[in-house]
Amino acid sequence: MEDSTSAVSVKIFGVGTAGINILEEIARAALPGVTLAAINTDAKSLAGSSAAEKISLETKVTRGGGPGGDAKRSRAAAEENLPKLKQTCEGMDVVFIVAGLGGGAGTGIGPVLAQAARESGALVLAFVAMPFDCEGNRRLKQAQQGLEQLKSAADGVICLPNQEIFKLIDEKTSVVETFKILNGLLAEGVNGVWRLMARKGLLEIHYADLCALLRERRGDSSFATAEAAGATRSREVMDKLFAHPMLDGGKALAESDAVLVSLTGGPDLTMAEVHRVMEHINGKCERAQVLMGATIDEAFRERLAITLIAVRRGAAQIEKGELPEQETVHLEARSTDDFGSHFLNQENGARPQSRFVPPAPSMPAEKMEQLAARQTRSRKNASKMRQGQLPLEIISKGRFDKSEPTIHKGEDLDVPTYIRRGVALN
Amino acid sequence: MFDSSSIIVGLEVGTSKICAVVGELNPDSSGLNIVGLGQAKSRGVRKGEICDAPAVEEDIRNAIVEAEQMADVEIRSVYLGVTGGHVRGFNNRGVHPVVSADREISEDDVQDVIKNAKTINLPAGNHVIHAIRQHFLVDGQDGISNPVGMLGSRVEVDVHVVHGNLNRLQNAIRTVKGLQLEVDEIVFNGLASSLALLTTEQKELGALVIDIGGGTTEYVVYADGVIKHASVLAIGGDHVSNDLAYGLKVPLGRAEQLKIEHGAAFVDGLKEKSVTISNELGMPMKTVNLEHLRRIMSLRLEEIFQLIGQDLEQAGLLDYLRSGVFLCGGGARIPEISRLAEQVLQMPVSIGKTNSISGLKSALDQPEFATAIGLVKFGSFQHKKRTGKASLRDGIKTTIGQLFKRA
For B348, counting Cβ atoms within 10 Å of its Cβ (0-12 exposed, 13-18 middle, 19+ buried), the class is: middle
| Rounded mean pLDDT, A387-395 | 61
CA-closest candidate to residue B381, choices B147, B111, B110, B195: B195
CA-closest candidate to residue A19, choices A92, A91, A104: A104
User: Which domains are seen in chain A, by residue range?
Assistant: 1-198 (3.40.50.1440), 320-386 (no CATH), 392-426 (no CATH)
Q: Looking at chain B, which residue has its C-alpha nearest residue A421? A: B299
Testing the interface with A: which of B231, B235, B289 to mutate, by most A Cβ within 10 A? B235
Q: Nearest C-alpha of chain A: how many angstroms from B165?
A: 14
Query: A335 CB contacts (<8 Å, ≥6 apart)?
Result: A314, A315, A316, A318
Pairing type for strands A303-311 and B32-41 reads: unpaired
Boundary-marking domain end, from B142, B163, B184: B163
For A343, counting Cβ atoms within 10 Å of its Cβ (0-12 exposed, 13-18 middle, 19+ buried), the class is: middle
Pick B243's closest partner by Cβ from A403, A408, A416. A416
Specify whether the CB–CB gap between A345 and A331 falls below 8 A.
Answer: no
**Is residue B29 situated within a structural domain?**
no
CA-closest candidate to residue A320, choices A140, A70, A107: A140
**Is residue B292 situated within a structural domain?**
yes
Judged by DSSP in three states, B299 sits in helix
Judged by DSSP in three states, B208 sits in strand
Which sign, positive or negative, has the C-alpha torsion A117, A123, A126, A127? negative
* 3-class SS string, B210-264: EEECCCCEEEEEEECCEEEEEEEECCCHHHHHHHHHHHHCCCHHHHHHHHHHHCC
Q: What is the pLDDT of residues A177-195, one digit of tens each?
A: 888 888 887 887 787 777 7
**Is residue B142 situated within a structural domain?**
yes
Q: How far is CA A12 from the centre of its chain?
A: 17
Testing the interface with A: which of B15, B244, B296 to mutate, by most A Cβ within 10 A? B296
Boundary-marking domain end, from B114, B135, B163: B163
Q: Do A406 and B238 touch (CB under 8 A)?
A: no
In this prediction, residue B220 carries a pLDDT of: 95
pLDDT category at A389 given cuts 50, 70, 90 is low
Q: What is the pLDDT of residues A9-55, one digit of tens each?
A: 888 888 888 888 888 888 877 777 788 888 887 777 777 777 777 88
Q: Do A406 and B233 touch (CB under 8 A)?
A: yes
In this prediction, residue B203 carries a pLDDT of: 93
Chain A residues with beta carbon closer than 8 angstroms to that of B246? 395-396, 398, 416, 419
Q: Nearest C-alpha of chain A: how many angstroms from B240?
A: 8
Testing the interface with A: which of B165, B244, B246, B313 to mutate, by most A Cβ within 10 A? B246
Q: Do B300 and A400 touch (CB under 8 A)?
A: no
Chain B residues with beta carbon closer than 8 angstroms to that of A416? 239, 242-243, 246-247, 296, 300
Pick A425's closest partner by Cβ from B238, B292, B307. B292
Pick B246's closest partner by Cβ from A396, A404, A406. A396
Q: Give one word for A390, left, alpha or beta, with left for phi > 0 and alpha for psi -120 to 50.
A: beta
Q: What is the pLDDT of residues A278-289, one digit of tens each?
A: 888 887 777 777
Chain A residues with beta carbon closer than 8 angstroms to that of B292? 425
In this prediction, residue B17 carries a pLDDT of: 93
| Cα–Cα distance for residue pair B180/B173, rounded to 1 Å | 11
| Cα–Cα distance for residue pair A143/A160, rounded to 1 Å | 12
Q: What is the pLDDT of residues A132-155, one digit of tens each?
A: 877 778 788 888 888 888 877 777
CA-closest candidate to residue B309, choices B294, B322, B319, B296: B319
Boundary-marking domain end, from B298, B319, B335: B298
Judged by DSSP in three states, A314 sits in coil
B354: number of Cβ within 10 Å: 23
* String of DSSP letters for B6-52: GEEEEEEE-SSEEEEEEEEE-TTT--EEEEEEEEEE--SEETTEES-
Specify whether the CB–CB gap between A199 and A1 falls below 8 A.
Answer: yes
**Is residue B17 situated within a structural domain?**
no
| Cα–Cα distance for residue pair A79/A109, rounded to 1 Å | 8
In this prediction, residue B20 carries a pLDDT of: 94
| Cα–Cα distance for residue pair A244/A224, rounded to 1 Å | 6
Q: Nearest C-alpha of chain B: how many angstroms from A280?
A: 30
Q: Do A417 and B296 touch (CB under 8 A)?
A: yes
CATH number at residue B254: 3.90.640.10
**Is residue B99 situated within a structural domain?**
yes
Query: A270 CB contacts (<8 Å, ≥6 apart)?
Result: none
Q: Do B239 and A413 touch (CB under 8 A)?
A: yes
Pick B252's closest partner by Cβ from A398, A416, A423. A398
* String of DSSP letters for B304-326: HHHHHHHHHHHHT-GGG-TT-EE
Q: Do A416 and B300 touch (CB under 8 A)?
A: yes
Pick A408's closest partner by Cβ from B239, B295, B307. B307
pLDDT category at A245 given cuts 50, 70, 90 is low
Q: What is the pLDDT of residues A286-303, one digit of tens each?
A: 777 787 777 777 777 788
pLDDT category at A325 given cuts 50, 70, 90 is very low
Tally the C-alpha atoms within 13 A of residue B76's C-alpha that lie toward its C-beta.
11
Q: Do B245 and A398 touch (CB under 8 A)?
A: yes
**Is residue B107 situated within a structural domain?**
yes
CB pairs under 8 A between A and B: 65
Q: Nearest C-alpha of chain A: how many angstroms from B105?
A: 44
**Is residue B323 situated within a structural domain?**
no
| Count of domains forming chain B | 2
Q: Do B234 and A406 touch (CB under 8 A)?
A: yes
CA-closest candidate to residue A169, choices A179, A157, A159: A179
Q: Nearest C-alpha of chain A: how many angstroms from B314?
A: 14
CA-closest candidate to residue B64, choices B37, B96, B90: B37
| Cα–Cα distance for residue pair A8/A96, rounded to 1 Å | 13
| Cα–Cα distance for residue pair A241/A245, rounded to 1 Å | 9
Q: What range defines the domain where residue B98 resides? A: 88-163
What does the pLDDT profile of chain B (407 residues) look like in tens digits?
Answer: 444 458 999 999 999 999 999 999 877 666 788 899 999 999 999 998 999 999 999 999 999 999 999 999 999 999 999 999 899 898 988 899 988 888 889 899 888 998 888 877 777 888 899 989 898 999 988 888 889 999 999 999 999 999 999 999 999 999 999 999 999 999 999 999 999 999 999 999 999 999 999 999 999 999 988 999 999 999 999 999 999 998 888 888 889 999 999 999 998 876 778 888 777 777 777 888 888 899 999 999 999 999 999 999 999 999 999 999 999 999 999 999 999 999 999 999 999 988 767 777 776 778 889 999 999 999 998 888 777 655 556 656 666 666 565 54
CA-closest candidate to residue B10, choices B47, B63, B69, B49: B63
In this prediction, residue A320 carries a pLDDT of: 34
Q: Looking at chain B, which residue has its C-alpha nearest residue A397? A: B242
pLDDT category at A164 given cuts 50, 70, 90 is confident
Query: Given 3-state DSSP classes, what are the helix, strand and coil percentages for chain A, each rounded to the nearest 5?
Result: 45, 20, 35
CATH number at residue B103: 3.30.1490.110
Q: What is the pLDDT of residues A215-225, one digit of tens each?
A: 655 556 777 77
Q: Do B299 and A408 touch (CB under 8 A)?
A: no
In this prediction, residue B221 carries a pLDDT of: 95
**Is residue B248 situated within a structural domain?**
yes
